[in-house]
Amino acid sequence: MDATTVNTKMSDDWAKSYVVSAHSGEEMIHPSETLVRLFKGDYVTGHRENLKGKSVLDVGFGEGNNTIFLASLGMQVAGVEIHQDICTQVASKMKRYNMMADLQVGSNQSLPFADNTFDYLVSWNVLHYEGTEAGVKAGIKEYARVLKPNGRLFLSSTGPTHKILLNSKTLGSHRYEIGRPNDFRQGQVHFFFDAPNYIELYFSPHFGDLQIGRIEDVMFREKLDWWLVTGLKK
């Protein structure tokens, strides 16, 4: 299995960025506060009872902090990343916490798991790297494929006022070329949902009971903005 839908430069750049942060002591060790709230709080009713033993796939797990949090809930965790080095780095990080997960190379559009495998799928700031409408649609379809019927999706994706859009070029609906200075993603094209009705449009063919939320923070100089999506596989 390889991440054929992702270009090599992009996967190499991500792998390098994580090696650099691990060696410079800048590696993050905390999970997303929002994801913690979704699993520990009752913002989405009826889902958090009996998480122990439930299966979850963490797509694009990055430094593995959400993966570790999900494992700490007693869930059976799997994850995919676009470079083998990222999988290896996070597998050894999890070992340090006495935890295990099935970490494999894969991508939004190509998940190396059978149909109807997972109770949950977490996609945390990953889908927008698809960059095109066709890629985003294919990613959402692939997420639904590996979820069990009625399995739950939790997704976060950058909103239209997020700091990453500083100096970006608008290429058309939802598509932005990243222009932020000193960001290794400069020049990449990302796909950001411009409004909630588009989220409904893209997800509703595969997910029912859709709920759309938004987290906006002004952290002094920086504006953070994320869409939150949850729904059940149809």
Ligand X SMILES: C[S@@+](CC[C@H](N)C(=O)[O-])C[C@H]1O[C@@H](n2cnc3c(N)ncnc32)[C@H](O)[C@@H]1O
Which residue of 54, 57, 62, 142 would you call a contact of ligand X, by CB under 6 A?
A: 62
Contact range with ligand X by CB under 6 A, out of 95-103, 125-133, 168-176, 208-216:
125-133
The answer to whether 131 and 190 have CB atoms below 8 angstroms apart is yes
Min. distance of Cβ 154 from ligand X in angstroms?
11
- d(C-alpha 82, C-alpha 179), whole Å: 23
Min. distance of Cβ 35 from ligand X in angstroms?
8
Q: Is 55 in the site for ligand X (CB under 6 A)?
A: no
Site for ligand X in 77-96 (CB under 6 A): 81-82
Residue (of 102, 83, 121) closest to 6 by Cα position: 83
> How do beta strands 207-219 and 118-124 pair?
unpaired
Strand ranges in the chain using DSSP code E only, listed in sequence order: 55-59, 76-81, 102-105, 118-124, 147-158, 169-172, 175-177, 189-191, 207-219, 222-233
Which residue of 69, 120, 124, 226 would you call a contact of ligand X, by CB under 6 A?
A: 124
Q: Is 126 in the site for ligand X (CB under 6 A)?
A: yes
Mask 9-48, x = binds ligand X (CB under 6 A)? -----x-----------------x----------------
Q: Is 66 in the site for ligand X (CB under 6 A)?
A: yes
What token pair was written down for 3? 């991440």
